[in-house]
Homo-oligomer: A and B are copies of this chain.
Amino acid sequence: MLLSGGLDSTVCTALAARDHDALLTLSFDYGQRHRAELERAASIARHYGAEQLVVSIDASQWGGSALTDPAIAIPEAGTEGIPATYVPARNLIFLSVAMGVAEARDADVVVIGVNALDYSGYPDCRPEFVDSFRITAALALKRGVEGRPVTIETPLIDRTKADIVRLGVDVGAPLHLSWSCYRDGSVPCGECDACHLRAKGFAEASIADPALA
């Protein structure tokens, strides 16, 4: 389970814990400025008694994103096009590492909480990317050659944020532990795209955000 500690991956972790055995959460210390995420990911993994693997890969070495380069400001919500918070090839890299881990550990399933409806417009959250990645990963892995490719599940890909909030409540996901804000304050900023999308989801689901309680 690819677990960032955000809302979507927290709900997805709840689904993975419900549907699969022997859960391992995979999180990345990639030089992101909001360290809160990783602490939340650890708490969520503990909540489910999952093995937690944190892989370090310092994307600030090459930069190109507001999330890894302090010199690039986090934009307010609602900017046009692909925003400055886009991290080049992030999901491509994360899914690739997940494939390596899955093959090494003989895991049958990788779950990722990508969502292409209420999202920030990142190209590597789109279904066409994930579909193509499935094919590529099957060609890359020994398991693929052996005819038993690792399955990649994206249970949230076509859901609205409100749907995801409702689903999370239904399955008892620890939403109070999740962290969505792109900024690194002690409380969510309320103004970045991630805070905006999260607030929209809870508002449309008519549910109070337990992380703001």
Contact = CB atoms under 8 A, between A and B. Distances in A.
Contacts of A142: 82, 86, 88, 123
A63 B132 CA distance: 26
Contacts of A136: 92, 129, 132-133, 135-136
A139 interface: yes
B123 A62 contact: no
A104 B62 contact: yes
A140 B91 contact: yes
A42 to B, nearest CB: 16
Contacts of A62: 53, 100-101, 104-105
Interface string A67-106: 0000000000000001000111111110111011111110
Contacts of A100: 59, 62, 64, 87-90, 92-93
A200 B133 CA distance: 35
A65 interface: yes
A145 interface: yes
A55 interface: yes
A137 interface: yes
Nearest to A82: B142
Contacts of A65: 104
Contacts of A64: 100, 103-105
A30 B16 CA distance: 29
B96 A92 contact: yes
A186 interface: no
A109 to B, nearest CB: 15
A93 B92 CA distance: 8
A126 B139 contact: yes
A190 interface: no
A135 B134 CA distance: 12
A89 B103 contact: yes
